Amino acid sequence: MNCPRCGYYLENSNVAACPNCGQPLSASAGVYGGAPQNPNPYGQPPQGSPYGQPPTPYGQPAAPSQPMYPPAPGTYPPPNPQMYAPPSQPMYAQPPQGMPGMQPGGTPFQAPKRGMAPLVRVLIGVVVVAIVIAGIAFASGLLQGNSVYSSALTGNVSDWPSDGGCAPQSDGYHITAAVICYPDLDQQGDVTLSVQAKQISGDSTVAYGVAFRRASKGNYYFFGVDGNGKWIVQKVVNDEGTRLVDFTANPAINSGLNQINTLKVAAKGAHFTFFANGTQLGSIDDSTFSSGKWGLAGEDGIEVVFTSIAITKTA
């Protein structure tokens, strides 16, 4: 049995007082009075409570006076309503100055619209400036007279002669004799002449083409082609001709009657370059004549039609 005061285990239940604390005992009362009970149903004495409290009877756990959770009302003070109050506005409705990702004044962040990359803008600016400069240069060139003369040579062309084998007609300017027909144009030096020519009748071995830098009567240069696809360059001094380039065949020249050949001669100082249908035939150097009249030349026994003449300053 155990002492009802200190819980000390009593081997002899017939003692009058607890040998540990002196608690008076009744031999016939058992532990808590009443009928004697088996102090240890398992045969081993229970360990006394170190705190002097009677141990919980075996097999009967002490029932709590109330559930552990949740606590009984009034056990804890009510929460502070200010502590957990939801915010009245978003946390970053008024961001601090300089905070990335927000606009001043609480405006929600919006990604700025992407403009063109600086390099692209620079390139576009350069292209625009280049186009403007090119346009100005082109217009300036026209105003300064890069185009010396141009004519379709069809119909009535009043600035060309109309006698002695030179005859303007509706389809072009016809030459039917060994003559040179000059327009009403001042003498020119460094210019380029381009014209379309077509032999419509006559001997295919006779040359026709362009007379240029005619300094005076019987003094000029001549560049021509014939119906056999050959070209020739001649210098005439006091009506005496000298071949600077003899008859030379070139596949760029269209041979036969009624074949159009676009002839071009470019003069720059003492240097001359010759073309047929966009192909360079060759070039020569000669300083005999530095300037003169420019015109179109035919020959006896053939008829040639010229159209679309253009004279410009040589670059």
C-beta separation of 196 from 260 below 8 A:
yes
Structural contact between residues 159 and 295, judged by C-beta atoms closer than 8 angstroms: no
Per DSSP bridges, beta strands 260-268 and 240-249 are unpaired
- How far lies 155's CA from each of 53, 74, 173, 174, 307, in Å? 142, 121, 8, 11, 10
Rounded (10°) CA dihedral 285, 179, 237, 290: -50
The Cα–Cα gap between 212 and 224 comes to 11
- Confidence (pTM): 0.56
Report the candidate in 204, 199, 186, 219 with the shortest Cα–Cα distance to residue 288: 219
Give me the tens of pLDDT residue by residue for the chain, a chain 315 residues long.
Answer: 677 788 777 776 677 788 888 788 764 444 444 444 444 444 454 454 444 455 444 445 545 555 455 555 555 555 555 555 555 555 444 544 544 444 444 444 444 455 556 777 778 877 877 786 766 655 554 445 599 999 999 999 999 999 999 999 999 999 999 999 999 999 999 999 999 999 999 999 999 999 999 999 999 999 999 999 999 999 999 999 999 999 999 999 999 999 999 999 999 999 999 999 999 999 999 999 999 999 999 999 999 999 999 999 998
Helices (H), the chain: 118-144
193: tokens are: 């002449």
